[in-house]
Amino acid sequence: MTAGRKTVKTLLKTEKDAGSMNTKIENAEKEVEALGVLNDLITIYLGETVVPEFKARKFKIYGKIVQQFNVMQINNAHQIASYWSNILQNPNIKTANEEG
């Protein structure tokens, strides 16, 4: 029809043409139904298998990142404590504190 060779009237002119068109429609309906089932199966597979594994991997990575952040924060706290300890050991600071 789209090529301009047949019209709707000539397409359904004979019983054979109508039967052929009916068969094509039935095959298309069966294919749509099969694709719906396939879609449901893929959705179930993703929900039960792929997503939980993905979530577990991402949670593990997140845990490592948080652990590394905590170690960095502890190191920073030690460096700050060392800095202030050195400041307090300065003789000028000690004498200023004793005079005040």
Q: What is the pTM of this model?
A: 0.52
How many structural domains comprise the chain? Answer: 1
Categorize the per-residue pLDDT at 4 as very low, low, confident or very high, splitting at 50, 70 and 90.
low
Residue 76 covered by a domain = yes
Distance CA 65, CA 63 (A): 5
Greatest alpha-carbon pair distance for the chain in Å reads 117
Residue 74 covered by a domain = yes
Q: What is the pLDDT of residues 29-77, one digit of tens each?
A: 999 999 999 999 999 999 999 999 999 999 999 999 999 999 999 999 9
pLDDT of residue 3 exceeding 60, the answer is no
Q: What angle do CA 67, 70, 74 make, to 5 degrees?
A: 140
DSSP state of 3: T
CB half-sphere exposure, 33, CA atoms < 13 A = 6
Range(s) of the domain holding residue 37: 8-99
Categorize the per-residue pLDDT at 19 as very low, low, confident or very high, splitting at 50, 70 and 90.
confident
Residue 18 is encoded by which pair of tokens?
Answer: 């109508």
pLDDT value for 14: 64
